[in-house]
A and B are shown apart, each in its own frame.
Chain A
């Protein structure tokens, strides 16, 4: 079946603009995660959803970052008033459930460049 998809694949924006990044998880996966990958760095956790609630938002770096999820489907990550330090690849992952050792399946990411 289809994997995790993300759109757009690339986004170039000007400092101060708002951006919306989209994630379509694997059908049936109740858990959804957002991570950020800066150049040459490991992945940083941002937020995770169980269904449409977000029990862990601890990784969101500032109140400019927000995310929502519709049911057990699409999620959008919104960055308001973008800054140059927001430039990174934003990765979405989904898994069958939150707990245990369920594999997190990653999408290809959205590369965000803030000029």
Chain B
């Protein structure tokens, strides 16, 4: 059962543009939603995370928007840079449990 659906699978953006990646979840018990960034040959690294008691969280050029009623959340990367080219994964967790449930990933390419 795929509990977190992520789109698009791949995304190409010009330098300076906005990258938007969307995720939808099914399990209403999820209460922690992190985004991970993965470069080739490396493990994923936490980028930014949100709890469902807020609708938006911003850290630098990265913003998570959260819509609890629609069970959707998205990552916005402002002023995208070639160094942002990586695979991005959304994830969800029940905070009192251990495991993360991941989306399928989005390969982002930012052209100079």
Residues of A participating in the B interface, judged by any CB pair closer than 8 Å? 4, 31, 33, 35, 40-45, 48, 50, 55-56, 59, 91, 93, 98-101, 103-109
Contact = CB atoms under 8 A, between A and B. Distances in A.
B112 interface: no
Given A41-B105, A104-B46, A48 B51 contact: no
Given A104-B46, A106-B43, 7 more contacts: A35-B102, A42-B6, A45-B99, A100-B95, A103-B46, A106-B44, A109-B43
A52 to B, nearest CB: 15
Nearest to B103: A42
A93 B43 contact: yes
Contacts, number: 65
Contacts of B30: none
Contacts of B86: none
Nearest to B49: A101
Nearest to B89: A42
Contacts of B98: 31, 33, 48, 50, 55-56, 98-99
Contact of A42 (B32, B34, B97, B104): B104
Contacts of B89: 42-43
